[in-house]
Amino acid sequence: MTDGIVGEFLSLKEETDADLLAMQCGDFYEFFAEDAEFVGRELDLKVSQKSSHGSSYPMAGVPLSELSPYLKALVEKGYRVAVADQYETDGGGHAREITKVVTPGTFLGTHDADAQYLAAIVADREATDSGDRSAETDTAYGLAFADVTTGRFTATAVEDRDAARAELHRFGPAEVIPGPAVRTDEPMLSAIREETDATLSLPEAELFAPGRARHAVREQFGSSTPEAIGLESTLAIRAAGAVVGYAEETGAGVTAAMTRLQAYEPGDHVALDATTQRNLELAETMQGNREGSLFATVDHTVTTPGRRLLREWLARPRRDRAEIGRRLDAVEAFASAALARDQVRDVLGEAADLERLGSRAANGSADARDLLSVRDTLAVPHRLLEAIDGTELEASPIAETLRGLDLETVRGVRKELAEALAEDPPDSVTQGGLFRRGYDEELDEVIERHEAVREWLDGLADRERKRHGLSHVTVDRNKTDGYYIQVGKSVADRVPEHYREVKTLKNSKRFTTDELEEREREVLRLEEARGDLEHELFCELRERVAGRAELLQDVGRAIAAVDVFAALAEHAAVNGWTRPTVTDGDELSIEAGRHPVVEQSTEFVPNDLAMDERRRFLLVTGPNMSGKSTYMRQAALIALLAQAGSFVPAREATVGVVDGIYTRVGALDELAEGRSTFMVEMQELSNILHSATENSLVILDEVGRGTATYDGISIAWAATEYLHNEIGAKTLFATHYHELTTLAEHLPRVENVHVAAEERDGDVTFLRTIREGPTDRSYGIHVADLAGVPEPVVSRADEVLGRLREEKAIEARGSGGGSDESGDGREQEATEPIQAVFDLSSGSFRSGDGGSGRSDDDHELDGRTAVADREDIPELPPGADDVLEELSETDVNETPPVELMAKVQEWQERIDGERNSEIDGERNGEIDGSEGTLER
Ligand code: ADP
């Protein structure tokens, strides 16, 4: 038998592609071989050895009733676990078969507040197969997301990989099943890995086939065609059908809660690509903490479904003003009714997670306590309506949300549960004690007889004491002896004759009688009958509740919405947020705005923003650390909050609906994340330039920093022109390239703003206030000082800067991104034209003497190529070659600014030295640096 068990385990393991197998052996679920070692490590289970066919196998097991917490732990770690149950064979032996596979996306035992999505993603195969790169990037994807714990199920089709990536990031599924074409779509696979912590499962490709998927959707949702439920796209149908098929295959009864499928168009929501969701720190900070995210800041919900819904709203702000306005009306009503809000929140605090309970009812795992929670939570809509009765909230969308429910049926289900269930039912649903009297006649009769026998038994000890004059008599029962009369040793020899002894203990004896035995049989029979009958009645009741799963989900969602409205109002009231005016216009204007998260921890200096159709592109300059990125993110977050239906941190705000928010943030931030900087930066820029429209909001926090200065400026310059001329998106662009500020003179809708700083007696104060016009300085050395760079270095840097300023050709020296931290971009008239400089008025490169030089794209750091064909370039002394070589080999991104400055200084000194010795040697006089040529 032993040998057989391990063999059976191994062959069942072959059958499944689950990661682990738990196999029932009598009263235990056992893991064998590698699986045993694995769970031993992962779950700290004791591993013993089982010998089989002369070899010995590791074995680890858990009692039948304790499997759930272990499954939960494994599934939460991302593993799929197959469970094989034991059944009796005809020959009276035992065999086992896999009855279900529990996976991260289909696990029903989760208690997390977070949604638990199972996602399917399919690609438009033909496009992927074409091999043509443009076609490949244009591949459309179908996506479906189902949360089996709440019954939420939604599907869509998106145009390209970036959009698919954005949806994956929004939903953060626990498990993803990629369709056949996606399995070879390496970029999409890595996007899945990057955007989610999901377990990737690979069910048979057949599930994704259009015909089969369509059939699965039809079967599950009972409509004539998927199109009838709004699912138009074949890709979305394939994804949805695969989710249904896969969930069915796991065999855990999880499809029961999938009561409806909601198709959505990506166009219903503000496009927020995955990078933007991260950059704006919606659900977690860039460091990966929840604390400090927008969600954690505004989350004052008191229910789990409320928390889930708020997260969803923040990740998917709306585009339609009607829905936004409805939400804002509700938040406003709550914001101005503090008392009613408190009362409502008190009532909400008692609501259980109805969506989850509905699912548990549907898949048959709800127990009597769950149904009692359903009963109590179904009372919540009425109680909420009572709480708002006669208050300002009565005419708000809050009341509408609640009245929109089928309250008649809600009352009916609640009444049925109230009349059925006992107040304090046991955990088990098979042992009786679940129902109230009067619920079922037959049950009442069984209960009556049961109670009567129990009473008889309860009174037996007393009666025996009196009748036979015995002291120390008790009547009790246990597993081995059944019911017995226990008599103290001292009186044991005085028991009547019909007492039959069953056991002698140290101080007492146990007896039984014919009558007691008969009553015992009766009580056992009645207990069993009651247990069976109650279980049967309970299953029927649960099924009727399950039949209302959709209603429960509706009520759950309505409660969640009220919770979110109240939470947003609470935050608005406590933090002085105001209702934004949301329009279809082009405006984004903010008066005394604050950053929603930063204002929590800082004495925040409010600032204004004004953008409209004539003022669409703001170049934001200012010293490092002055608040540029905070200002821009704040603008994006205010737009996002407004469109999610929330009040905003501002004295006044008007938000013209945006269709998308796109951000890219400085290379330095990404460096910290260990991402390859420049390529990523350019990919992000490319995505923005491809995706943004004139109705989008674009936030660029440094562009071009990851490459040499001239490259960087040129890219930033061209991107600005493109955004301004071709796309017309509202754009906020923070840059340290002061050269760009002259763009405002050339492009009509570009304006300069800067974050003000004040310098007095060498001390710089950041005023955190936004002013019109470009900044004049960047105060990099001051920041170095603030950061604790040793004093000698700071003062030396000051000296170097002074000299460089005097020479007035900082930008001309091609010293890369770092040096202009402390450079003065406005002083660009080079008096010592050694290399090309960037011409502010033409936006092209020229030699430093003011001539109009090259303006093509080929301006590398290497000054020799940049100006080699110029005749009026001064001749450099021979030793300068080494300097130029060092210069071209210096990696600007790897060299700290201060070190760069020192290098520049050193190069200058070397060139000067060479030149002087040349002069000394030749003419012994002054040299005019503007003569001569670089060509040699
Ligand atoms: P930059 O992008 O210019 O380098 P940041 O936006 O990162 O600067 O801001 C630097 C610091 O200043 C941050 O710690 C931020 O909290 C703080 N800060 C920014 N704006 C304000 C403001 N308006 N009021 C108060 N503190 C601010």
Is the residue at 920 inside a domain? no
Looking from the CA of residue 623, the nearest atom of ligand 1 is 3
Residues 88 and 154 in one domain: no
User: Looking at residues 561-587, what average pLDDT do you find?
Assistant: 97
The domain spanning residue 238 has which CATH number? 3.30.420.110
Is the residue at 61 inside a domain? yes
Average pLDDT of the chain?
83
| Final residue of a structural domain among 53, 73, 102 | 102
Residues 98 and 146 in one domain: no
Is the residue at 599 inside a domain? yes
Tell me: pLDDT of 117 over 70: yes
Alpha-carbon gap, residue 662 to 686, rounded angstroms? 11
Tell me: pLDDT of 581 over 90: yes
Alpha-carbon gap, residue 711 to 866, rounded angstroms? 12
Name the phi and psi angles at 150, rounded to 5: -125, -10
Per-residue model confidence (pLDDT) at position 846: 42
CA of 707 to the centre of ligand 1 (A): 25
| Residue 779 tokens, joined | 């105060």
Residues 611 and 734 in one domain: yes
* Chain segment 151-210, per-residue pLDDT in tens: 899 999 998 888 899 999 999 999 999 999 999 999 999 999 988 999 999 999 999 999
Tell me: pLDDT of 234 over 70: yes
Per-residue model confidence (pLDDT) at position 845: 41
- Is residue 786 within 6 Å of ligand 1 at its C-beta? no
- Classify 502 as helix, strand or coil: strand
Alpha-carbon Rg for the chain, nearest whole angstrom, is 37
Looking from the CA of residue 606, the nearest atom of ligand 1 is 23
Residues 680 and 732 in one domain: yes
User: Looking at residues 850-863, what average pLDDT do you find?
Assistant: 36
- Give the confidence band of 806 by pLDDT, cuts at 50, 70, 90: low
Q: Which residues are annotated as a binding site for ATP?
A: 622-629
Q: Which amino acid is at 118?
A: L
Taking CA atoms only, the protein residue closest to ligand 1 atom 25 is 604
More confident residue, 820 or 333: 333
Poorest-pLDDT segment among 223-237, 531-545, 665-679, 695-709 = 665-679
Tell me: pLDDT of 566 over 90: yes
Tell me: pLDDT of 863 over 70: no
Alpha-carbon gap, residue 371 to 677, rounded angstroms? 54
Contact in structure between 562 and 636 (CB atoms under 8 Å): no
| Final residue of a structural domain among 727, 745, 775 | 775
* Chain CA centroid to CA 505, Å: 64
Per-residue model confidence (pLDDT) at position 874: 54
Tell me: pLDDT of 382 over 90: yes
- Give the confidence band of 385 by pLDDT, cuts at 50, 70, 90: very high
Is the residue at 59 inside a domain? yes
**465-470 long-range contacts, Cβ below 8 Å, gap at least 24?**
468/494, 468/495, 468/496, 469/494, 470/494, 470/495
- Give the confidence band of 813 by pLDDT, cuts at 50, 70, 90: very low
Residues 596 and 729 in one domain: yes
Residues 593 and 660 in one domain: yes
User: Looking at residues 716-737, what average pLDDT do you find?
Assistant: 91
Poorest-pLDDT segment among 626-640, 670-684, 801-815 = 801-815
More confident residue, 80 or 813: 80
Helix 380-388, helix 338-348: angle, nearest 10: 170
Is the residue at 430 inside a domain? no
User: Looking at residues 374-403, what average pLDDT do you find?
Assistant: 92
The domain spanning residue 83 has which CATH number? 3.40.1170.10
- Give the confidence band of 121 by pLDDT, cuts at 50, 70, 90: very high
User: Looking at residues 791-798, what average pLDDT do you find?
Assistant: 78
Per-residue model confidence (pLDDT) at position 446: 93
CA of 305 to the centre of ligand 1 (A): 34
CA of 684 to the centre of ligand 1 (A): 24
Alpha-carbon gap, residue 339 to 569, rounded angstroms? 12
Looking from the CA of residue 598, the nearest atom of ligand 1 is 16
Name the phi and psi angles at 396, rounded to 5: -95, 170
Q: What residues form DSSP beta bridges with 656?
A: 583
Taking CA atoms only, the protein residue closest to ligand 1 atom 9 is 627
Residues 604 and 734 in one domain: yes
Q: How many domains does the chain have?
A: 3
Residues 149 and 59 in one domain: no
Looking from the CA of residue 755, the nearest atom of ligand 1 is 3
- Is residue 605 within 6 Å of ligand 1 at its C-beta? yes
CA of 719 to the centre of ligand 1 (A): 25
* Chain segment 260-284, per-residue pLDDT in tens: 898 888 888 999 988 899 899 999 9
User: 516, 531, 371: which is closest to 447 by C-alpha?
Assistant: 531
User: Looking at residues 905-915, what average pLDDT do you find?
Assistant: 75
Tell me: pLDDT of 790 over 90: no
* % of the chain beyond a pLDDT of 70: 85
Contact in structure between 703 and 678 (CB atoms under 8 Å): no
Is the residue at 832 inside a domain? no
Contact in structure between 327 and 627 (CB atoms under 8 Å): no
The domain spanning residue 735 has which CATH number? 3.40.50.300
Q: Which amino acid is at 329?
A: D
Residues 634 and 731 in one domain: yes
| Final residue of a structural domain among 249, 268, 287 | 268
Asked whether the whole model's pTM tops 0.85, one would answer no
Residues 90 and 162 in one domain: no
- Is residue 625 within 6 Å of ligand 1 at its C-beta? yes
Is the residue at 520 inside a domain? no
User: Looking at residues 19-31, what average pLDDT do you find?
Assistant: 93
Contact in structure between 703 and 603 (CB atoms under 8 Å): no
Alpha-carbon gap, residue 775 to 778, rounded angstroms? 8
Alpha-carbon gap, residue 880 to 918, rounded angstroms? 12
User: 11, 40, 5: which is closest to 26 by C-alpha?
Assistant: 5
CB-facing half-sphere around the CA of 394: CA atoms within 13 A: 6
Residues 593 and 723 in one domain: yes
Domain encompassing residue 255: 117-268
User: Looking at residues 873-886, what average pLDDT do you find?
Assistant: 71
User: Most confidently modeled of 130-144, 333-347, 680-694?
Assistant: 333-347
- Is residue 622 within 6 Å of ligand 1 at its C-beta? yes
User: 485, 462, 477: which is closest to 523 by C-alpha?
Assistant: 477
Tell me: pLDDT of 303 over 90: yes
Residues 208 and 135 in one domain: yes
Is the residue at 759 inside a domain? yes
* Cα–Cα distance list, 187 to 113, 183, 663, 673, 879 (Å): 31, 10, 21, 20, 49
Output the CA angle 135-137-139, nearest 5 degrees.
Answer: 70
* Burial of 608 per CB tally in 10 Å (0-12, 13-18, 19+): middle
Pocket test for ligand 1, best of 620, 630, 702, 786 (most atoms within 8 A of CB): 630
Q: Which amino acid is at 566?
A: A
Alpha-carbon gap, residue 876 to 935, rounded angstroms? 9
- Is residue 580 within 6 Å of ligand 1 at its C-beta? no
- Is residue 778 within 6 Å of ligand 1 at its C-beta? no
